[in-house]
Amino acid sequence: MRSTVTVLVYSDDSNTREQVRLATGRRPAPDVPVVEFLECATPAAVLTELDRGGIDVCVLDGESVPMGGMGLCRQIKDEVFDCPPVLVLIGRPQDAWLATWSRADAAVTLPVEPVEFAGALAALLRKKRLQQSA
């Protein structure tokens, strides 16, 4: 098992990116590796980093402007070969259907609630680890 994983965090709001970092801590659960963050404030930066590779999970802010994380999620699921799992941050629980439309692997509401977020992120990291070992 690798000693670190890379989590890409997309939001045009630096406070949202900070909430994600703080909710995760060094690692979201004891059984997953230490997290290294790669922060992006624009959709173009996200696409550039995904092209480089090495991303284990993407966290996309559904409330970002000018392109929300759900639209970006749908785009990368269509365009990025072997797209990493995606966790979208949604503005309200009623937006869960949009997260499904975007093909997100998980969704949590804003503001980031640390226990809920860490649990969702850890689940995606475990799932990715299982897929890589299969």
Model confidence pLDDT, tens digit, residues 109-126: 999 999 999 999 999 999
pTM of the prediction?
0.96
Hey, what CATH topology would domain 4-133 get? Answer: Rossmann fold (3.40.50)
Interval 30-75: pLDDT, tens: 999 999 999 999 999 999 999 999 999 999 999 999 999 999 999 9
pLDDT of the residue at 102 = 97
Percent of the chain with pLDDT over 70: 99
What DSSP assignment string belongs to 78-131?
HHSTTPPPEEEEESSGGGHHHHHHTT-SEEEESSPPHHHHHHHHHHHHHHHHHH
- The residue extents of the domains of the chain are 4-133
pLDDT of the residue at 1 = 55
H and E: helices and strands count for the chain: 5, 5
pLDDT of the residue at 35 = 98
Which whole-number Å values give the CA distances from 1 to 7, 31, 37, 124, 128, in the listed order?
A: 16, 10, 18, 15, 12
